[in-house]
Structure 1
Amino acid sequence: MSLRWMTGVVAAIFAVAVAAQVPAEGGDQKRRLIEQKIRLVEALLNSPAARGAAEGSDADPRSLIEQGKQAIGEARKALAEARFDEAAKLADDALRSVSSASRRMSPGEGGLPESAQRKNLQDLGDQVGMYRNSVEELAKDSQRAAPARALLGRIDALTAESRQLADAGRIGEAGKKMAEAYKVAVEELSRLRAGQEVLLSLKFDTPADEYAYEKKRFASNEIMVDMMLAEGRAAGDKRRMVDGFVEEGHKLGEQADEQAKAGRHAEAVKLMEQASAQLIRALQSMGVPVF
C-alpha cells in the first residue's frame, strides 16, 4: 500500500536526519553516512510499491522513481571515487525524488497488484473480526450492552460497505473502508474497556501460526499509524517521536522475519510482539487509546 510505503519514506528521512547530525570525522565517517543514505533509498526503491509505480501508467511517480534510481547509481560511483560531497548530494536528491513519488501515488492503491491488495484487505478484515468478537463479549455486560451493540452496528455497516466495494472490483476503496472499520473498532473498544484489565486469549496450532497472526497485527497497526498521520495527529516534535517508534518497529519486524525464515518462530513471535508494541506507542502518543 502506498500509505505503508510513505511510512517507510518518513522513517528513512528520520534516520537520515539523525545520521546527518553526527559530526564528520574524516573520510571513513563521511563514507559510512553516505552509505547509510544510499541503503535507505535503495530499500525504498526495492519495495513492492515503488516497483509498482515504476511499472504503472502514472508518468509523474514513474519519472521520479527513475530519477531516484539514476541519482543512486551516480552516488555510488562518486562514493567509489571518494567524491564524498557530490555523493552525499546525489543521495539526498534520490531521497527527495522517492519521497515526491510516494506523495503522488494514489492512496490505497500504491502500485500493488490486485492480488496483493486483496490479501491486505483480507488480513485487515481478520483483525476487525477479532476486535468484533471482543465487542460481542462486552455486549453481554449489562453496564456496557447498549454502547457495545451500537459499536457492533457501526463495525458491521463499515465491513458490509467494504465487501460491497470489493465485490464491485473497487479494491482500493474497499481497503480504505475496512481500515475505517478497524480504526472505529480499536478506538471505541478501548474506550468501552477503560478501567478494565484487557485479557486476550488466543490458541494457535503451531508457533508458525502464531507468528502469522502477529504479522497481521503489525500490518494493521501500520495502517492505523498511517491513518492518524494523515489526520494530522502528529506535528513538530511529536512527529519525530512517532517516526522514531515506527522506525524501531520496522527494525524489530525485520529481525523477526529473519528468525522466522530460520525456523525459530518462538523467537520471531517475541520480536514481532515488540515491533507491534512500538507502533502502539506511536498510536498512543497521537492520542489513540489502543491496547
Structure 2
Amino acid sequence: MMGVAAAVFALTVGAQAPAEGSDQKRRLIEQKIRLVDTLINSPAARGAAEGQEAGSRALIRQGTQAIDDARKALADSRYDDAARLADDALRAVSSASRRMSPGEGALPESAQRKNLQDLGDQVAMYRNSIEELSRDAQKGSAAKTLLGHVDGLAAESRQLADAGRVGEAGKRMAEAYKLAVEELSRLRAGQEVLLSLKFDTPADEYAYEKKRFASNEIMVDMMVAEGRAIGDKRHLVDGFVEEGRRLGVQADEHAAAGQHAEAVRLMEQASAQLIRALQSMGVPVF
C-alpha cells in the first residue's frame, strides 16, 4: 500500500515537504497548473465541453474551478492549499480525459484522424518487428499468424476510414495496435528487443516520440475500459499517467524552445511512465 500511495501522491508530497524551499514548492505547483491547462485545452476536453457527455463536462468544470482556486492560493503564498487544489484539478481533468474513449465522438473528426494516423504509424513499426520474427525457425509460424491478424484489423480500419466512419476506424486500429504490442511482447519473451529507427533531425525524433506517447495513452485507456485497473490498481495507474503527462508538458516546453534533444529525453521518460501503467495492468509491453 505504501508503494501505491507514493506513486499517486508523489507530486503532492513533493509540493508540501517541509524540507523544500518556497521556490521549489512554487515551481512544482506551477508545473502542475501548466499540466492541467494543457489537459483542459486538449481536443478531448474541448469535445466534452461542446458535446453531450455530461459526466466529463462536470469533471472539466470541477478541474477548471480547482485550478483557478490554486492560482489564487499560489498568489497568496498558501502553498499547501495550492498544491492540494492543483492535485484535485489534475485528478478531475484526467478522469474526464479517460472517459473519452477513442472514436466515440468526443474528438472532432480532424483529431480522430490524427489519432488514427499516429496509431497506424505505431502499428507499422510493430509490424516490421513481427515480420522479422516470422523468419525465426521456432516462432516464425506464430508470428505469421499474428501478422495476418494485425494486417486484417489494419485493413478493416482503412476501409472504415475511407467510408467516413473515422470513429470506428480508430477503434479497429487501436485493436490492431493492442494485439501487436501484447502478442509481439509474448513472442519476444526472454529475448532482447531492439527497435532501430533513424531520424533526419532531432525535431523529427521528437515528433515520433510524441506519437508513441499518444498511442500508449490510447492503450492505457483501452485497458482501463476493459476493467484491468480496479481498486488500488486504478490509483497506481493514474499516478503513472499523471507523471507521464507532467513529463510530457516539460518535453513540449523544451521542444518549443528548440531544445529537441532534451525534449526527446523527457518524452521517452513520459512514455516509460505509461509503459509502467500498462505493465501494472498485466500488459507485457516493452
Scaled by the length of structure 1, the TM-score of the pair is 0.75
AA aligned opposite 1:187: E
Specify the code of the residue in structure 2 equivalent to 1:272: M
1:245 positional shift: 1.6
Amino acid across the alignment from 2:116: L
Match of 1:224 in 2: 219
RMSD: 3.8
Q: For 1:189-237, what per-residue CA distance to the aligned partner results, in whole angstroms no more than 9, with x for missing partners?
A: 1111112111221111111111111111111111111111112222333
**Cross-structure match for 2:207:** 212
Question: Is the Cα contact below 8 Å between 1:248 and 1:275 reproduced in 2?
Answer: yes
Whole-angstrom CA distance in 2 between matches of 1:17 and 1:281: 17
Aligned equivalents of 1:109 and 1:81: distance in 2? 42
| Partner in structure 1 of residue 5 of structure 2 | none
Report the CA distance shift for 1:77/1:172 in structure 2 as closer, same or farther (over 3 A): same
Check the 8 A contact 1:68/1:98 in 2, yes or no.
yes
Larger radius of gyration: 1
* Other-structure match for 1:239: 234
**2:151 corresponds to which residue?**
156
Give the stretch that moved more between structures: 68-77 or 204-213. 68-77
Aligned-partner SS, 2:224? helix
Q: 1:114 to 1:262 in 2, by over 3 A?
A: same
Question: Alpha carbons of 1:78 and 1:223: their partners in 2 closer, same or farther (altered >3 Å)?
Answer: closer
Which residue of 120, 125, 141 corresponds with 1:125?
Answer: 120
Q: How many residues align?
A: 275
Aligned to 1:249: 244
Tell me the equivalent position of 1:183: 178
Matching of residue 262 in structure 1 with residue 257 in structure 2:
yes
Match of 1:50 in 2: 45
CA distance in 2, matches of 1:242, 1:232: 12
Q: Report deviation, 1:240.
A: 2.2
What is the aligned counterpart of 1:194 among 189, 194, 207? 189
- Structure 1: runs of 5 or more not aligned: 1-13
Aligned amino acid, residue 166 of structure 2: I
Identity among equivalent pairs (%): 78
Following superposition, the deviation at residue 149 of structure 1 comes to: 0.6
Distance 1:43 1:205 in 2: 28
Q: Does 1:135 find its partner at 2:130?
A: yes
- Structure 1 residue 87: deviation in Å? 10
1:281–1:125 Cα change, 3 Å: same
Amino acid at match of 1:173: E
Q: SS state of the match for residue 130, structure 2?
A: helix
Q: For structure 2, list consecutive stretches of 5 or more residues without a partner in the other structure.
A: 1-7
Contact between 2:31 and 2:246, CA under 8 Å: does it hold in 1?
no
Distance 1:134 1:42, change over 3 A: closer
Contact persistence 1:49–1:110 (CA under 8 A): no
Instruction: Give the counterpart letter for 2:260 in structure 1.
Output: H
SS at match of 1:186: helix
TM-score (norm 2): 0.77
Structure-2 residue corresponding to 1:166: 161
Shift in CA distance, 148/228, structure 1 to aligned 2, threshold 3 Å: same
Q: Deviations over 1:55-86 (max 9, x none)?
A: 2356665576557656776887899899xxx9
- Between the aligned partners of 1:205 and 1:106, the Cα distance in structure 2 is 34
Which secondary structure state, in structure 2, belongs to the residue aligned with residue 133 of structure 1?
A: helix
The 10-residue stretch of structure 1 (118-127 or 139-148) with the greater mean CA deviation from structure 2:
139-148
